[in-house]
A and B are shown apart, each in its own frame.
Chain A
Amino acid sequence: MTLPLYVPVASPVHRLSAGVKLLCLAALAVLLFARPTLTVAGAALVGTLAVGLGVARLPVAVLARQAWALRWFLLALLVVHALTTDVASGAHTVLRLLTLVLAAAVVTATTRVTEMVAVVERLCAPLRLVGGRPQRVGLLIAMALRFIPVLVERADRIRAAQAARGGAPRGVRALRTTVAPLLVQLLQMAHDVSEALDARGADDVPAHRPRRT
């Protein structure tokens, strides 16, 4: 169901650490809003394309898809600006938006999900100071990803069972007869999973935390 947004290529951009890439993206966003000129936005767009297509050697289609999804909106934006202010400000806004979206797409296409998860866990390290456990963030992400196909499968099963009994109820009635029971089943499943995890020590205090004696 999920098509990966990551595009594997052996390039310097792919090898760059995920944290650095995210910092660059944040810096670019700050720059584009702090220096709102056509030159800066144009240069940033050229730079983004050079990094994405030239250095990272991403297929053009990967970036084109992002731009294409925005086409009507960007066009409407240009028209609204041309009518209310002037074409130059419209061109600038369009350029800035396009640049940011493409830059974000470059970061996503060159960074594996696992690397991003590692960055998130590192960003959550300060949680330790308030008694939180950053490792649990990884557990959360893993659980959510595992639940997605399970959910789809459970929904299909209920639908098949109802079809076998002469068709699923439609409309508002389906909420009571299908959706709500499905949700209850899933909550019970989540509870079972958590008990299984606890039985395997998920709720233990991490060993490296100094214990009071």
Chain B
Amino acid sequence: MKTRDLAYVALFAAVIAVLGTIPAIPVGPVPITAQTLGVMLAGAVLGARRGFLAVLLFLVLVALGLPLLASGAGGLAPFVGTTAGYLYSWPVAAFVIGWLTERAWDRYNVLRGTLINVVGGIVVIYAVGVPVLKAVAGLSWTAAVTGGALPFIPGDLFKAFVAAAIADVVRRSYPVIERPRRAAGAR
């Protein structure tokens, strides 16, 4: 990993942090935040590896005690609370989005990007977040899904579109993801 890659990783960790200053909408146990937009962007702009690291770095900053989560939460508490599963799923979501984006790089457009972001940013995040919410809060599946997934779907669809629209512009003016390297080991 070159210093340039480290700088990109640090930049997107900062982007996710700043998106946390946009006020969150509290709905039940899990708030709607703009931060998942940052998670999608990290994957869609940086690709799988760097996107994953950017989100991981952001979570490390939160765990260190910086109040960077939406609504000013921080420290270790969010990692054991009800939203813990969503947090743990973020790096995976960025990785999946990045991986798919790299595969679709030559044919990337807003529609494809939106679909990719839906897979990584909605399917992956809910697949981890909802079961953890259920376990931590001791809820039934119905309650966990109505409290931890359904209210977010409209917002998340919108965020998936927004992230794809931004990533598409960035891709054309300042592409960070390189085309998939066919030659093995060349770096």
Residues of A within 8 A of B (CB): 1-6, 22, 25, 29, 66, 69-70, 72-73, 76-77, 80-81, 84-85, 89-90, 93, 97, 100-102, 104-105, 107-109, 111, 113, 116-117, 120, 136, 139-141, 143-145, 147-148, 150-152, 155, 172, 175-176, 179-181, 183-184, 186-191, 193-195, 197-198, 202-203
Contact = CB atoms under 8 A, between A and B. Distances in A.
A2 B64 CA distance: 13
Contact of A188 (B21, B79, B80, B174): B174
B23 interface: no
A69 B26 CA distance: 11
Given A113-B65, A187-B170, A76 B28 contact: yes
27 contacts: A5-B75, A73-B28, A76-B28, A80-B139, A97-B82, A97-B137, A101-B81, A102-B77, A105-B76, A108-B74, A111-B65, A140-B9, A140-B57, A143-B7, A144-B14, A151-B14, A175-B166, A180-B166, A181-B173, A183-B15, A184-B174, A187-B170, A190-B10, A190-B11, A191-B7, A194-B5, A197-B3
Contact of B61 (A76, A85, A145, A180): A145
A203 B7 CA distance: 12
Interface of B: 1-11, 13-15, 17-18, 21, 28-29, 41, 45, 57-58, 60-61, 63-68, 71-77, 79-82, 136-140, 143, 162, 165-166, 169-170, 173-174, 176
Contacts, number: 180
Q: Is the interface of A mostly helix, strand, loop or mixed?
A: helix
